[in-house]
Amino acid sequence: MEQTTRKVTGAEAVIMSLLEEKVDTIFGYPGGAIMPVYDALYDYQNQVKHVLTRHEQGAIHAAQGYARVSGKVGVCFATSGPGATNLVTGLTDAMMDSTPLVCITGQVGSPLLGTDAFQEADVIGLTMPATKWNYQVTSVDEIPWAIAQAFYIASSGRPGPVVLDISKDAQFNEIDFKYEKCNKVRSYVPEYKVNDEKVSEAAKLIDSAKKPLLLFGQGVILSGAEKELKQLVEKTGVPAAWTLLGLSALPTSHPLNVGMLGMHGNYGPNIKTNECDVLIAVGMRFDDRVTGDVSNYAKQAKVIHVEIDPAEIDKIVPAEVALLGDAKKVLKKLLKKVTPNSHEEWLGEFKSCYEKEAEKVIDKDLFPTKEKLTMGEVVRRVGEQTNGDAILVTDVGQHQMIASRYFQLNKSRSLVTSGGLGTMGFGLPAALGAKVGQPDRDVVVFMGDGGFQMTMQELGCIAQYNLGVKMVILNNNFLGMVRQWQQLFFDKRYSFTEMQNPDFVALAKSFGISAQKVSERDNLDKVVQEMVEHDGPYLLEVVVEKEDNVFPMVPAGASVSNILLEP
């Protein structure tokens, strides 16, 4: 039956198209060039929720947090000029971390394009390197088509952000509205058919391996392959380690989960990468923070690379067997071919590494004897109070590494952090987006005093919508990660990293948000429990050791074999 049409403005066509894509939440900030869309949205408030952030960067980071925990496409609105340019950091972040977004920006009227009109910016030129696709709509007739294509491109294959820049006259003009979902774009191949011969080759390598190691990244989560990953490691007995964004794809308590890879990852996975004979990489891209000096990375190993994006194959680490395709489909086929096995002696080597790391690092982080509180013990106590069921959000810095190392996660899609771009200020708006995306789950965000101050205005958004985010500021009055590098590699020349901070508790309370400050170990458990049990948002400032460092650490440019357990 042919779809009936009705005449609407382009602005209303935007909202109707989003509803056709089952959008239930929009994050945004209104302005002149997007005002017609906001006017149309006024009549649809009972069908779609709009969250008014306090800055466009907050809107896009919130949309990222929403997308990461819900598995849906995040949507945000911004106006032209500075509104659109304020999205660029979030777009770049989403592009590097494969987060599906559709960002709709208003633009000056098409007759004014190229005239340096008020609040005009070349949004297409600015965002092209930071998007999977971008498009400028200057005709009302293109609006439904462009939105349908945007959602298809953003969510298919390797996900990513899309920008639609819609001129003001296209928003005002009228159209006979008809919507057709997009399921194909010429010359765009989001996913390749799995090569069965390559699967057989990979299975033979895994079966013959004496010291196999599996590395898994966010591709497992994006493809929904958590079950297949767990079945594969259990059937083959292969120890598995995770990249930062792969955290939560396999429960941290699983006996074959041997920890985190990379610069501040666990000792065992880093050392054993250069000792394994077969390296199975699933849904990860061999980022430099994982490989260290790539010229000395896993040279002894035969590499099996499971990857949806052909651009990542052989880009950094050459693959003996490249399995191009969706991780879930590849792992399903691989599961049928591999032989049941165990590698107890090899796994025992990881346990020995863990014991060494526990003695030199972990026990000192989690159960310190020094007077001042450590970041690790705060993370541990909050993790214990939430029973491993919370969504963990972090900003960027020392606390990010500490929280990712020590916060227990039992469910997938439970970590929201800025991986590839390392965006300070990401944490607070991403946490509010995560809470909107999963309102029935606890959301805990760890931030440093530096990163928090980059987007702290989003406390206003959290207060306005009474979002029950639990916010923990680990305050050392330093830009901690930069200070650590200055201490270790720049002769303790602390150049412009010490901070004079506001009264964070008073700031939170000025927004009507409950808050407390803790500096003594004896008070920590009580206040953490109060925060977790509190109905509504809560900010906890914890004063921690000023010169507390994150170890293990692979020095920049060094091999993963040269990982340090202490200064």
Residues marked as catalytic: 56, 118-119, 168, 481
Which residues, other chains included, contact 91 with Cβ-Cβ below 8 Å and sequence gap of 6+?
Answer: 60, 101, 103, 127, 130, 131, 161, 163
The type of residue at 406 is Y
Nearest to residue 283, comparing CAs of 309, 251, 254? 309
CB of 67 closer than 8 Å to CB of 413: no
- Report d(CA 33, CA 488) in Å as an integer: 49
Task: Please give the helix or strand (H or E) that residue 432 lies within, else none.
Answer: helix 427-437
The separation between the first and the last C-alpha atoms of the chain, rounded to the nearest angstrom, is 71
Is residue 145 exposed (0-12), middle (13-18) or buried (19+ Cβ within 10 Å)? middle
Dihedral in degrees, nearest 10, Cα atoms 158, 298, 316, 278: -40
**The token pair that represents 335 in the structure block:** 């599961």
Torsion (CA) 273, 278, 282, 287 in degrees, nearest 10: 40
Neighbours of 42 (CB within 10 A): 9
CB-based contact 250:226 (threshold 8 Å)? yes
* Owner of token pair 């049409």: 5
Residues 103 and 92: beta-carbon distance below 8 Å: no
CA distance 565 to 304: 29
DSSP state, residue 160: -
Of 416, 304, 357, nearest to 552 by C-alpha is 357
Find all residues with CB under 8 Å of 510, minimum gap 6, and list them.
Answer: none
- Comparing CA positions, the residue from 548, 550, 376 lying closest to residue 446 is 376
CB 100 within 8 A of CB 91: no
Q: Which helix (H) or strand (E) holds 474?
A: strand 469-475
The DSSP secondary-structure symbol of 186 reads: T
- Cα of 369 vs its chain's centroid, Å: 34
Mode of pairing for the β-strands spanning 469-475 and 415-416 = unpaired
Q: Where are the beta strands (DSSP E) in 287-421?
A: 302-307, 321-324, 391-394, 415-416
The amino acid present at 320, given as its one-letter code, is E
